[in-house]
Amino acid sequence: MNPIVYAIPVFFALMLIEFGVAHARGRRAYRINDTLGSLSAGVTSQITEIATKLVVIGIYAFCFEHLRVTTLPVDAWWTWLLGLLLYDFLYYWHHRMGHEVGILWASHVVHHSSEEFNLSTALRQTSTRFLLGWIFYLPMAVLGFPMIVFIVVGLIDLLYQYWIHTEQVGKLGWFDRVFASPSNHRVHHAVNDKYLDRNYGGILILWDRMFGTFIDEDDNEPCVYGTRSRLGTFSPWWANLEVFSALAKDAWHTRSWMDKLRVFLKPPGWRPADVAARFPKPDFDLEAAKRKYDPPLTRFESIYLLVQFVIVLAAGTHCLAVAEQWPWPAVLAYGTWVAFSTWSLCRLADHGRQAWALEFLRLGSLLALVPFLWRVAAAG
């Protein structure tokens, strides 16, 4: 079973603690609409990974089988320790390139699209990591780290980073100088000029110190979160597609054949000169970024979204749990409904056009889906 299924209750228990701590301090850590957007992106990411993780695993297995220079013993403690250190080092470069190369940023941007910084932000993950992210970890296969080591240390690296997405933990002294911490990671998510593109470390912040990308959080300059080009929606689908779409449009409109390629390889924000002249975009304004995207919700809308998302989250968790036992048509139908549900609910949070019509369609689809899944479960 997917280990994330077991982690989900822990995630939400810690979110409740964070909410309680913030409330006791008189702070507002969560907004329903933003949290819905973050969790919807997380659910969508996990649903898509049911199929896409086979790409990463398959490529790693092929390289391990045909390109490895040795085979490291899986029963040796040092294999696991070296594996975790190497994975974290490779993650640093994967993460850094995700901020320095346009096509990689198009995938990673999902994680930065929240204008809040709380534990739900950690779950706002991309659904397109499988496209290019696997490239950075192939050295582990070539060096002979068995598949199980690669998977487990990757999971450890990912789960560690959950707790550092919070404003409720202050600076931690020596810990901040060695490890990725809440203070260090707040800087990473900030769009302030001073903080931009810093602190990429997953577990160790030492990599940033070694390669010149570290900066301390400054108490005199509060972090402003989000992206420099506001997403303007809570939709997990558009969060995953928006930058890909922008890159494709710039590549289409530029007259230079070289720029059609450069637009995907240059840093985020770079645009061909002819495209920038024809389709100008406003300069980034930090003061404007402080005014968060926050369409107001009525009491009924808030309660409805909360109740419905709890149902969708339970369905998504169940889908992950049965994905390896059920036939693929059932998993496809189940996962599609869950992903469609996250979009529909976020559409309501956005007050999008015809949002309620979409929601009635989603609810109506259960009349066909539930009997179908019931038969599949009974047969299994």
- Give the model's pLDDT for residue 23: 96
| The token pair that represents 377 in the structure block | 């479960």
With respect to residue 238, please indicate whether it lies within any of the assigned structural domains. Answer: no
With respect to residue 228, please indicate whether it lies within any of the assigned structural domains. Answer: no
- Give the model's pLDDT for residue 54: 87
Name the burial class of residue 183, with classes exposed (0-12), middle (13-18) and buried (19+) by CB atoms within 10 angstroms of its CB. buried
Alpha helices of 236-298 — where are they, by DSSP H?
Answer: 236-253, 257-265, 273-278, 286-289
pLDDT at 9 > cutoff 70: yes
Instruction: Report the 10 Å Cβ neighbour count for 368.
Output: 11
Residues 126 and 183 in one domain: yes
Residues 113 and 194 in one domain: yes
pLDDT at 125 > cutoff 70: yes
Residues 44 and 96 in one domain: yes
On whether the CB atoms of residues 161 and 121 are closer than 8 A, the answer is no
CA 30 – CA 19 distance, rounded (Å)? 7
- Give the model's pLDDT for residue 231: 94
Residues 46 and 182 in one domain: yes
CA 272 – CA 269 distance, rounded (Å)? 10
E-only strand ranges, 92-235: none
Amino acid at 274: D
**Mean per-residue pLDDT of the chain:** 96
Amino acid at 107: S
On whether the CB atoms of residues 208 and 200 are closer than 8 A, the answer is yes
| Residues contacting residue 199 through CB under 8 Å, at least 6 positions apart | 180, 184, 185, 187, 188, 205, 208, 213, 214, 215
As a whole number, mean pLDDT of residues 158-172 equals 98
% of the chain exceeding 70 in pLDDT: 99
With respect to residue 243, please indicate whether it lies within any of the assigned structural domains. Answer: no
Residues 305 and 278 in one domain: no
Q: Which residues of 255-284 are buried (b: 16+ CB within 10 A; e: fewer)?
A: eeeebbebbbebebeebbeebeeeeeeeee
On whether the CB atoms of residues 94 and 133 are closer than 8 A, the answer is yes
CA 319 – CA 248 distance, rounded (Å)? 33
**Confidence class for position 126, pLDDT limits 50, 70, 90:** very high
With respect to residue 6, please indicate whether it lies within any of the assigned structural domains. Answer: no
As a whole number, mean pLDDT of residues 148-158 equals 97
Name the burial class of residue 2, with classes exposed (0-12), middle (13-18) and buried (19+) by CB atoms within 10 angstroms of its CB. middle
As a whole number, mean pLDDT of residues 252-260 equals 96
**Confidence class for position 241, pLDDT limits 50, 70, 90:** very high
On whether the CB atoms of residues 350 and 233 are closer than 8 A, the answer is yes
Residues 174 and 281 in one domain: no
Residues 330 and 252 in one domain: no
Picking from 256, 287, 318, the residue at the C-terminal end of a domain is: 287
Residues 97 and 60 in one domain: yes
User: Tens digits of per-residue pLDDT, 279-297?
Assistant: 999 999 999 999 999 999 9
With respect to residue 7, please indicate whether it lies within any of the assigned structural domains. Answer: no
**Confidence class for position 182, pLDDT limits 50, 70, 90:** very high
Residues 78 and 138 in one domain: yes
% of the chain exceeding 90 in pLDDT: 96
On whether the CB atoms of residues 44 and 237 are closer than 8 A, the answer is yes
User: Tens digits of per-residue pLDDT, 302-326?
Assistant: 999 999 999 999 999 999 999 999 9
CA 333 – CA 335 distance, rounded (Å)? 6
Residues 252 and 370 in one domain: no
Half-sphere exposure of 209 (CA within 13 A, CB side): 10
Picking from 259, 287, 315, the residue at the C-terminal end of a domain is: 287
- Give the model's pLDDT for residue 43: 97
With respect to residue 113, please indicate whether it lies within any of the assigned structural domains. Answer: yes
Provide the domain limits for residue 70. Answer: 32-211
As a whole number, mean pLDDT of residues 199-218 equals 98
With respect to residue 242, please indicate whether it lies within any of the assigned structural domains. Answer: no
- Give the model's pLDDT for residue 380: 67
Q: Classify 140 as helix, strand or coil.
A: helix
Residues 202 and 325 in one domain: no
H or E stretch at 371: helix 355-379
- Give the model's pLDDT for residue 60: 97
Residues 283 and 174 in one domain: no
Number of structural domains found in the chain: 3
Instruction: Report the 10 Å Cβ neighbour count for 106.
Output: 25
With respect to residue 117, please indicate whether it lies within any of the assigned structural domains. Answer: yes
